A and B are shown apart, each in its own frame.
Chain A
Amino acid sequence: MSEILRAFLLGGCICIVGQVLIDFTKITPARIMVLFVVTGVVLGIFGLYQPLIDWGGAGATVPLLGFGNVLAKGVIKEVDEAGLLGIFTGGVKAAAAGITAAITFGYIMAIISKPKIKS
Chain B
Amino acid sequence: MKKQISKHEYQKLVEEKAPGSHFIKNLFAAFITGGAICAVGQIVMLIFENFGADKELSASATSIIMIFIGAFLTGINIYDEIGKFGGAGASVPITGFSNSIVSPAMEFKKEGHVMGVGAKMFLIAGPVLVYGIFASVIAGLFYFIWKQVM
Could you tell me which A residues sit within 8 Å of B by CB distance?
A: 3-23, 29-30, 32-34, 36-38, 40-42, 44-45, 53, 56-59, 61-64, 66-68, 70-72, 74-76, 78-80, 83-84, 86-88, 90-92, 95, 97-99, 101-103, 105-116
Contact = CB atoms under 8 A, between A and B. Distances in A.
Given A16-B31, A62-B93, A106-B105, A97 B60 contact: yes
Nearest to A105: B71
Contact of A102 (B27, B92, B125, B135): B125
Contacts of A114: 106
Interface of B: 19, 23, 26-27, 29-39, 41-46, 59-64, 66-68, 71-72, 74-77, 80, 86-89, 91-98, 100-102, 105-107, 109, 117, 121, 124-125, 127-129, 131-133, 135-137, 139-144, 147
A5 to B, nearest CB: 8
Contact of A57 (B42, B75, B106): B42
A75 B92 contact: no
Contacts of B67: 98, 101-102, 105
Nearest to B125: A102
A10 B38 contact: yes
7 contacts: A4-B46, A11-B37, A63-B38, A63-B92, A72-B139, A88-B140, A111-B109
A15 B87 CA distance: 9
Majority secondary structure of chain A interface residues (helix, strand, loop or mixed): helix
Nearest to B23: A23
| Residue from A9, A10, A18, A67 having most chain B Cβ neighbours under 10 A | A18
A76 B143 contact: yes
Contacts of B127: 30, 34
Contact of A18 (B91, B97, B125, B140): B91
Contacts of B147: 79-80
In the A-B complex, the 10 residue pairs with the smallest Cβ-Cβ separation, listed nearest first, are: A11-B38, A15-B34, A12-B35, A91-B136, A18-B88, A58-B41, A110-B105, A7-B42, A113-B75, A106-B101
